[in-house]
Amino acid sequence: MIEQVQKDHLTGFFLREALDSFLDKLIDEADLKSKSFSIALIDLDKFKRYNDKFGHLFGDEVLKYVAGIFRLTFYGDPHYYYRYGGDEFIIIFPDTGTQEVDRFLHQCIYNTFQQPFLFKSNFYKITMSFGVASYPRDGRTREELVRKADEAMYYSKRTGTNQITLASDLSRLKIRKWIIILGSIACLVLAGLITSKFTFKTIIKPTIQGVKNIKIVTKPGDLDTVILKNGSLYEGRVIKETDNVVVLSLYMEKGYGTMTLKKSEILRVRYGRVGIHDGKTQLPQPELNNP
């Protein structure tokens, strides 16, 4: 009966219109004999781009080439080929589980590498995306079976070229994908927290020591100014300077303290009346007025 159905003139495959009735018949037979079967939904990668770039003649020859690769790979036991859409195909594998179909499809990919597409003396690498569903494991109706194969195929397409996805693995693959995404976000957040904490500690809130509850008497122009590369500005008295650090005595409302700043963080040091310090001699402490 299936041989009487009109076939596609380019590939020689059955047309989509014949798929529904054949799948219904296959499901009835599988239920009657307690058997299973699998379908593979195949989409050519970047076919529209090739078609637009090289023309429809090129696209027609690609379809013929792919049909030949399928027949070369799946010879032997009977398989049923359908041209499901413009560049989509469905192959039915009677009495075959998804793992065996997976091996067949890997062989199909290998054959495309061994025999690349030849057009006008140039070779082209043709790649495909595969989705595989099995009856009754992945669906008990033809609509559900085709939908599961379609979902698996689109998952393959999103993950690269020449990818094969089994519908039975979709849930696990999606969970793994979200684990990777959430793990990446957590790593970025952790890195941000560590960076911000380090920056806050070393630049925004440097360690201040020796705060005294005393009043500091200063005269205009006495203070040194340290300008950091991040735009922060601190005024006080430079009491120590080495090749690596500058120690600044800070003047505050209720006393003073010391701050150690790395030279790598400093843009410029502007000295007050005391003058430029050589970094070897500790400067005198500011004048104190005891209460």
Side-chain half-sphere CA neighbours of 49 within 13 A: 5
Domains and CATH numbers, the chain: 2-179 (3.30.70.270), 215-289 (2.30.30)
Single out the residue of 44, 28, 5 nearest to residue 142, CA to CA: 28
Interior/surface letters 116-144, b for 16+ CB within 10 angstroms, e for the rest: ebeeeeeeeebebbbbbbbbbbbbeebee
Residue written as token pair 């122009």:
221
Angstrom distance (rounded) from CA 205 to CA 229: 15
User: Phi, psi at residue 234, to the nearest 5°?
Assistant: -130, 135
pLDDT per position in the chain (291 positions), as tens?
455 568 999 999 999 999 999 999 999 999 999 899 999 999 999 998 988 899 999 999 999 999 999 999 988 778 899 999 889 999 999 999 999 999 999 999 999 999 999 999 899 999 999 999 999 999 999 999 999 999 999 999 999 899 999 999 987 877 766 677 777 787 777 777 776 665 555 444 444 444 443 334 444 456 888 888 877 878 888 888 888 888 888 765 555 678 888 888 888 888 876 444 444 434 444 443 444
